Every structure is written in C-alpha cells, then in structure tokens.
Structure 1
Amino acid sequence: MLDFAIFAVTFIVFLVGAVVYLYPSSRRSSDIPGLNPTDEKDGNLPDIVNKGGLHEFLVALHEEFGSVASFWFGQRLVVSLGSVNQLRQHINPNRTTDSFETMLKSLLGYQSGTGEGVNEAIIRKKVYDNAINETLKKNFSLVLKLVEELVGKWVSFPEAQHIPLCSHLLGLSMKTVTQLALGEHFSEDAKVISFHKNHDPKSSYLFLSWQIWSEIGKGYLDGTQEKSSSRKTHYARALSEMESVLLSVAKERKANPKQLVFVDMLVEYLHGLCCLFQIMEDCMVFTLAGCVITANLCIWVLHFLSTSKEVQDKLYEEMEDVLGSDPISLNKIPQLKYCQQVLNETVRTAKLTPIAARLQELDGKVDQHVIPKETLVIYALGVVLQDSNTWSAASRFDPDRFEDDSTRKSFSLLGFSGNQTCPELRFAYTIATVLLSTLVRQLRLHRLEGQILEVKSELVSAPKDETWITLSGRSSK
C-alpha cells in the first residue's frame, strides 16, 4: 500500500466520502479545467447521481475536459487524473501513513492507526502485509483442498448444466478467507454461513455482504443512513456481531497460540505493540476485503476465459509445461507467466477497482496545473484502464498485451502489480491462480449464449446479476 496502491476494499463513494469526513473542506480556486458546482452545498453530487455513479461521471468528465479535470464534492475541490502520464507525474510525499487504513477504520469508528507515530505505523503496515504472506505459505494446502473440492463438484455436473459463477465463487472466497484469517473454527460450512449471515447479498438490508461498505459510503455520500433509524440499527447490530466474533477468536488464539493463520501472526508480531481490539480491526479489514476482491477476480477471470478458447488452450499448455501432472505449489506460481498475464488482463478489462484516491498534502503540479494543498486527488483508474492511448483495442480481452515491457510498467504504476500491489489483491491473485491451475487442466469453459452481462461499478466492478457458464471435459470437443 504505497503511493499508488489500490484501495481495493472501498466502494467509490466510500473513498471520496471518507476523505471528506477526515479532512476539512476546501474552497480554494484552481486553474484546472472542470465543472462548477451544481449545488452550493453538494457541489457536483447531483451530477454524479445522475450519471449513475462516480466512475460513469469521471468517464464523461474526462471526455469533456481532458486527462486533468476538476469537480466539487460538497465544498471540497476534487482533481481527477485520467491518464498514465498524469498519474506518473503525481507524487504524494506521504509515505508513512496508510490512507486506506485511516479512512476505513475511521468510518468503522476505529481510532487505532489514525494517530500513532511514524515508526508504529510503518511496523503495523509491514506486519499486516507479512501476516498475509505467511498465512498463505502455512496454509497453501488448505487453499488447494478448498479449490479441488469446488472443481470436483463441477466435474461431477452434466456438461449442459449451468454453473452460477457468482454464487459458487463467493462461497469459495468466503470459506478460504475466513479459514485463513481465523482458523479451523470456521472449517465447517455452517459456521462460515453463520459468520457471514450479516453479509448475505440477497438480504433486504443494504449493509449485508460486502454491501456493508456501500452502506457506510452512502451514509457519507447522501446522508440516507442518518435519515433511517432502522438502517442505522441494523448496520450497528451487524458490525457489533462481527466485532464480537473477531474479538473472541483473537482472545482464543492468544491463549492457545498456534501461529498458523492471519490472526495468529498478528497476535505474535504485534504482541506488546497494540491491544486485541486493534488486532480485531485488522482481521475485520482482511476478512471483508480479501473476500470481496478474491470473489470478483475469480468471477471475472472465468467469465473472460469462457469467451476465448484460444486463451484457455494457451493457459492449459503453460500449466502442463510448468506443473505436469502435479498439483500447483506456492513456489511454482511465479513460473506461470501467462497465467499472470491473464489475471492482469482480467483486472484491466473488468476495471476491477475503478477508483483510487490520495490527499494532496503539499502544493503540487501536474502538467501546467497547480494542485493546491489539501485537494482530494482521484485516480480515475477505470478511465485509465480503457484509455486507447495506452492500451490498443482497449475493450478487447487480450492477455498477450502484457508481453510488452512498457505495458507491464504502466500496469504496475497503477498499483495492480509489483511491490505497490495491496496485499489483499496479491492474496486474490494467489487464490485465482490455484483455481485456474486446477480447473483448466480438467475442464473447458463455455459462455452461455444470449447472456447479457451488466456491470456494477462499486467497490469493485462486479456483474450486476448472476453470471453463468457451462463446462465440458478437456477431452470433449
């Protein structure tokens, strides 16, 4: 989570609303081209709502005003950057605090991490990242087992049967993330379902499933949560129940250390540095962020593979060359170069996380434009990832484009690969690679004819409705 790290677990409105909440408003004038406020109090919020969301609004904004454009969120000036060249110029001097953690925890009502010293903040960032990496190393066999169970289920289905990707892959990500975060207590499906009962996307409450983040964002975007006592009550109850479970697990693991899963790593590495409540906060971030990113990355990559027999065959050949008949191992993953290209292209084509944001802590400059101190700077990643000046045939799913070194560098600059990738996305890449290595060596994926796929661009770009594919044996024609 460095300068251009993705805020992978925040909805678009959450990103903006959080920064507005944390910092005082600014009415500084600017020479940057853009929109005047539509409303004195809300700025261009009515325009965002009319466009259907911030991503759609930014697409129109950059089409009209170019790659550097401004608008008003309430009484705060916001600058949006919509091309790789402009993002390359934008340097944020703040390298000691984690903006994502600060915003997320503030909106959840948490105080840790927002006022601690530089050294403590750096230590906690490293611990969080390392804890995820160590958890994957020590539990890779469990990841493989859970993936093999799902693929085995698919192998047993008749070839004509429709597979609901969203339901099945959300289930896989929930089971994987919950067990790797909290341990064997959640190895039973019933307990996983119980833990996530506050997060069922089919429920009538808006804050359930990863919609909890949308509800948090809406509270700061349009104030609707404040106007509904029932929504506030249900949200508070859901959050309280999750916190209670996480605290209970942290206490249990501290009393009986096993050092196998994420919470154990935090208890070990942060011993004496912070309290159990702070450890619970990090568990909250990982369980929810890891789930939403992992599920949607897996959904999109299988959807895109179902549309291209050529990509499937090329991926299959790489898996056979690198793995042979052996199951995948953690040390083999870096050798799967084409698989990495497929996942990169999935993130790009799906615009997996279309928005990131930083606060301009000092006066800065992009091109000839001065960006005043305390200006919120939006990285319009959804716009950049479809920019025809950077990506040829931008709307086409083409993993081969990542054979080019300049393409990989542009992608890394945006925070989707390399050292600047957020740990939740690196985790999701690992789970998705295990899934692909197991699936494509046994089955072919086929798109469902006549299916219309509408995209919902929020926390991540997700299918608006259930997405279906069919499968056949690899020997089938």
Structure 2
Amino acid sequence: MTSQLLSPNPAPPGPKGHPFVGVLPEYSRDPLGFLTQWAREYGDAVTLYGFRKAYLFSHPDAIEEILVTQQSHMRKDRLLGIVGKVLGNGLVVSEGDFWRRQRHLMQPAFHRERITAYGNLMIEQTQTLTASWQNGEIRNLGQDMMALTLKVATQAFFGTDVPMAMHEIEQAMLRVQQQFDLRTRHMLLYLLPDPIPTPNNLRYRRAVQDLDRLVYRLIEQRRNDPVERGDLLSILLTLRDEAGEGMSNQQLRDEVMTFLLAGHETTALTLTWALTLLSQHPDVETTLLSELKTVLGERPPTPADLPQLQYTDWAIREAMRLYPPIWAMGRYVASDCEIGGYPIAAGSNVVISQYIVHRDPRWFDEPTRFKPERWANDLAKHLPPFAYFPFGGGSRVCIGKAFAMMEAVLVLATLMQQFHLELLPGQEIVPWAAFTLRPKQEIKVRLQRRLA
C-alpha cells in the first residue's frame, strides 16, 4: 500500500542501524535491553529501521492513541502469525467485524459471577500441588507453576472430562511454547514460514494436531450431550448472537485453544515472578504473611476473601509491573495516521512495551524496586490510563483479566500460607523476552514448610 501522507513534521529520532537489516541484529540479541536503551536515549517516540520501518512509542498518551483513539488505523502485528496455527481465528488474533461479534458473544461467559465460580477449583488444584511437596525438597518453580495453571485452565474450560488426557495436553502445550520461543528468539527462524518441514515445524504441527483431536472430540461429545456443566466449553455452546446463531465447531476450537494457551501461560509466569520476588524480599513476604494470618487465620483462602487480601493483590500487581508477561505489543498500520504528533504512514509498524513504560520513573517512584505498598491509596486511579497496562487496553483489553487476577491472588495466598520458597544460591535471575516474558534459566527453590 502506497502512503499519501504528507507532513512537514520530521520522523522521530532513532538508531541508524545496519544496511538492509537496520536494528534487527541488536534487537534480536537483547530486545529488553536495546528497546530500553533506545527509549532512554531518543525519548518517547523512536524510529526503528529494519525490513519494515517501525516506531517505538513509550508515552501513555501515545499508547492510548494506538490502542483506543487511532485503533481503526491498526491491525494485529505479523508476530501473531507464529501462533496462528494453534490460535486459529480466536479473540487474540481475529480482527474487524468478526472479532466484534465474537467478543460481544463471549462476554457473558466472563462475567464476574461466573468467574468467581472457578475460585474453589483454583484453590483445590493448588492444595493438590502443595500436598505433593516435601519439606526441604528442591523444585523447578516455573515448571510447577506452568503445570498448576494448565490443570486449572483445563478443568475450568473442559470440566472433569479430561483427567486422563492431561499428560497429552501438557506435552503438546510444551511443544507449542517451545516453538513460539524459538521463533521469536532467532531472527531467521522468525522469518521462516510454518509450512517449511523443518524438524521444529514438524514437531509443532504434530502438537497442534494432537490438541485439535482432543478439543474437537470434546466439542462433539458436548453437542451430543448438551448438559450445562459450568465449564467454559459448556457455556460457549449455549451462547447465541442477535440472529440466534451460535459458534461453529471451528470457532469453538479457536476460542478454546486461545484460552487454554493464553489463559495458563501468562498466569504461570506472573506467579513465577511474584514468588521469586517474594523470596528476594523477606520484608515484603513478612507483610504478606501478616495479612494472610489476619484475614485467614489457619484456614485456607476462599473466593469470598479476595476483597480482604489487598496486600496479596498488590504483590501480584507489582510483579506484573516489573515483569509483565506480555512485555510488548505491536500493531501494523493499515492506513495513514498520526501518533504522538508524528505522521505514521500505512505499511509501518508501531511497538509499545509494557516493560519499558512500567519502569518509567515519571509514573513510578523507585521504578525497579519491588514495592507492593505503592498500590495503596488507589494509585491506579491516579496514574495516566496507559502507564500500567499488563492486560492491554481499549476495546481489546484481555477478556480473561478477572479470571487471571483471581487465580494469581488465590494461588499465591494458598502457596505462601503453607511454604517459604528459598532461592538456591548462585542462580542468575534474568528476564528473557521471548513471546512472553519468562526467566532465561530455570528458577530452583528449596521448600520450607511453615510451622502451624
């Protein structure tokens, strides 16, 4: 598409980069480091040259333009093509009228009353995990959190019909996540189309096929036995739009895959980072334990306790501020527009980074410090609207936000009430900006059971 945009305003400043490939070599080596450096060096708007011109915007006002006021000029970023095979045309990927129809159709499934009903499941699954933990045992923290949130997601979305398939789901999901990470970490693999039969692409394809077989089988079973079971799949099967039309099997499959993948990985990473930060900050852990003792005594938490677990909620919010699972978002500019006072031509890309904005000292004092109490006195209401946006924003804000927050708080409270997690010495805790923001190396912890 040829742009007709003419403006006397200059393009934002930015690094020169290399011939043909621009800044891509530096970016692929260290996305967090170089994006942060460029934002500090060049300001709130930065031109990034590569195979296609891109712009990094880091001011909340410009982010609001991208996600809200200029949204009609934007389309989803090409990076989502990597996940297209597994997510299909689900809410994360779909666009335009189809997305609006699906979002409106599915909103009732995520009303707070329905979401709260999953709270006991979250607590029960966490208690099952802690019952398997032994005092003094060394655990892989990220692996445990991934397994836990996948079990919660699977039972919340499918009910109790799939316990025997859990291993199959875990292995397929692991293969899918490895493909995402591999493709986003290496520039040449990022550009490599899925149909090319490399060993990694073939393993990825088989993993998606395994998930497809399971999901389509469950959909068919539920259509033949349409009993309301309270799980997400049952609810989705009952939903109808204004014309009385429900979702096709393909649409159901795409939405279930979207929630199964996105709904467990991001929460697992939030919990991994929160537990790691608590193990590094004993003063914060002490304050959190005091709240748990006051609110819960010796009993386990329930969904009804959520309004009283304020500090626990703040700890989750603070973990997502420092280590947002979705660390950056991109949009393809489909038509000429203006962002942050700069003309942006059709065919460009715009990038916004939660990781950068959440650590900006203009919005957060001591921005690199883990300080849950900063969220007291309704801090969120006093911030610019897009100074903190771990779940995105605008009309495309994550539909599962309430589910994710409830799960993170309840799991954290249940775990911390029973165990102290001691980081093994000598570990390098470094964030790795793959498709999501995960620790670069495994995080190993020693379990210390709390005395009653």
Structure 2 length-normalised TM: 0.84
CA distance in structure 1 between the aligned counterparts of 2:34 and 2:4, rounded to whole angstroms = 21
Instruction: Say which of 25, 45, 51 aligns to 2:24.
Output: 45
Confirm whether residue 456 of structure 1 aligns to residue 436 of structure 2.
Answer: no
Tell me the residue number matched to 2:44. Answer: 67
Instruction: Give the alignment of 1:229-244 within 5 angstroms.
Output: 229-244=198-213
Which residue identity does 1:232 align to in structure 2? N
AA of the residue aligned to 2:238: E
Match of 2:239 among 241, 265, 269: 269
Is residue 2:181 matched to residue 1:211?
Answer: no
Give the secondary structure class of the aligned counterpart of 1:34.
Answer: coil
- Checking the alignment, whether the CA contact within 8 Å between 2:75 and 2:332 is kept in structure 1 is no
> CA distance change for structure 1 residues 73 and 424 in 2, over 3 Å: closer, same or farther?
farther
Q: Within the alignment, does 1:54 sit opposite 2:23 as a pair?
A: no
Q: Distance in 2 between matches of 1:278 and 1:227?
A: 26
Residue 454 of structure 1, CA deviation? 2.4
Give the match for residue 187 of structure 1: 163
Match in the other structure for 1:8: none
Q: Judging changes above 3 Å, is the alpha-carbon distance between structure 1 residues 96 and 245 closer, same or farther for their aligned structure 2 residues?
A: farther
**Is 1:301 equivalent to 2:274 in the alignment?**
yes
Change in CA separation of 1:357 and 1:335 when aligned onto 2, cut-off 3 Å:
farther
- Secondary structure of the residue aligned to 1:423 is coil
Structure 1 residues 404-443: aligned runs within 5 Å: 404-406=377-379, 409-410=382-383, 413=386, 414-416=388-390, 421-443=397-419
Deviation at 1:136, TM superposition (A): 3.4
Matches within 5 A, 1:249-288: 249-259=218-228, 260-270=230-240, 272-288=245-261
Q: SS where residue 184 of structure 1 aligns?
A: coil
Work out which of the residue numbers 162, 168, 172 in structure 2 matches 1:198: 172
Structure 1 counterpart SS, 2:417: coil
**Equivalence for 2:53:** 77
Distance 1:177 1:330 in 2: 17
Partner residue in 2 for 1:126: 104
Q: Distance in 2 between matches of 1:349 and 1:193?
A: 32
Check whether the contact 2:76–2:331 (CA below 8 A) recurs between aligned residues: yes
- Residues 352 and 235 of structure 1: is their aligned pair in 2 closer, same or farther, counting only changes over 3 Å? closer
Moved over 6 A (4+): 25-29, 95-98, 112-117
1:143, CA displacement in angstroms? 1.8
Tell me if the contact between 1:364 and 1:370 (Cα under 8 Å) persists in the aligned partners.
Answer: yes
Residue identity in the other structure for 2:103: K
How big is the shift at 1:400?
A: 1.3
More displaced stretch, 250-259 vs 353-362: 353-362
- Which residue identity lines up with residue 265 of structure 1 in the other structure? I
Contact 2:17 2:49 in 1 (8 A): yes
Q: What letter matches 1:177 in structure 2?
A: A
What is the CA deviation profile of residues 216-258 of structure 1, one whole-angstrom value per residue up to 9, with x for unaligned ones?
A: 6568733275665333333222222211211111111122223
Query: Aligned partner of 1:333: which letter?
Result: L
| C-alpha contact (below 8 Å) 2:333/2:350 kept by paired residues | yes
Q: Is the partner of 2:56 in helix, strand or coil? A: strand
Aligned CA distance change for structure 1 residues 367 and 225 (closer, same or farther; 3 Å): closer
Return the offset for 1:132. Answer: 4.4
Corresponding residue SS for 2:253: helix
Q: Are the aligned partners of 1:26 and 1:77 in contact in 2 as well (CA < 8 Å)?
A: no
Determine the structure 1 residue equivalent to 2:147: 171
One-letter amino acid of the counterpart of residue 33, structure 2 = E
Distance of aligned partners of 1:336 and 1:127 in 2 relative to their CA distance in 1, 3 Å threshold: farther
State the one-letter code of the partner of 1:311: V
CA 1:128–1:391: 2 relative to 1, 3 Å: same
Alpha carbons of structure 1 residues 199 and 142: separation in structure 2 relative to 1, 3 Å:
same
1:150 and 2:112 matched: no
Partner AA of 2:47 in structure 1: S
Q: 1:296 deviation in Å?
A: 0.8
The 8 Å contact of residues 70 and 77 in structure 1, kept in 2 or not, is answered as yes
Q: CA deviation at 1:474?
A: 3.4
Does the CA-based 8 Å contact 2:322-2:355 persist in structure 1? no
Runs (5+) with no aligned partner, structure 1: 1-23, 201-207
The answer on 1:136 being equivalent to 2:85 is no
CA contact (8 A) 1:164 1:467 kept: yes
Counterpart code for 1:38: H
Match runs of 1:382-401 below 5 Å: 382-401=355-374
Change (3 A) 1:397 1:338: same
SS at match of 1:210: helix
Report percent identity of matched pairs. Answer: 19
What secondary structure does 1:465 align onto? Answer: coil
Q: What letter is aligned with 1:455?
A: P
Residue 354 of structure 2 contacts residue 389 of structure 2 at CA under 8 Å; is this kept in 1? Answer: no
| Shift, 1:393, TM fit | 1.8
Task: Decide whether the 8 Å contact of 1:415 with 1:422 is kept in 2.
Answer: no
For residues 183-231 of structure 1, give each alpha carbon's deviation from its aligned partner in whole angstroms, at most 9, with x where no partner exists: 212234xx2111232233xxxxxxx141233356568733275665333
In structure 2, distance between residues paired with 1:333 and 1:46: 45
Distance in 1 between residues matched to 2:298 and 2:148, nearest whole Å: 24
Once the two structures are TM-superposed, the CA of residue 95 in structure 1 deviates from its matched residue by: 6.8
Q: Residues of 2 paired with 1:127 and 1:334: CA distance?
A: 29
Q: Distance in 2 between matches of 1:139 and 1:242?
A: 23
Q: TM-score, normalised by structure 1?
A: 0.80
Give, in angstroms, the shift of residue 406 of structure 1. 4.5
Query: How far did residue 67 of structure 1 move?
Result: 1.6
Kept in 2, the 8 Å contact 1:198–1:209? The answer is yes
Distance 1:282 1:166, change over 3 A: same
1:348 aligns with 2:321: yes
Contact 1:135 1:261 in 2 (8 A): no
RMSD: 3.4
Shift of 1:418: 10
Give distance in 2, aligned partners of 1:452 and 1:116: 40
Whole-Å separation in 2 of the counterparts to 1:349 and 1:402? 13
Give yes or no for contact 1:254–1:264 (8 Å, CA) kept in 2: no
Comparing 170-179 with 216-225, greater Cα deviation is found at 216-225
CA distance in 2, matches of 1:299, 1:315: 16
Residues 87 and 443 of structure 1, relative CA distance in 2, 3 Å threshold? same
Gaps of 5+ in 2: none
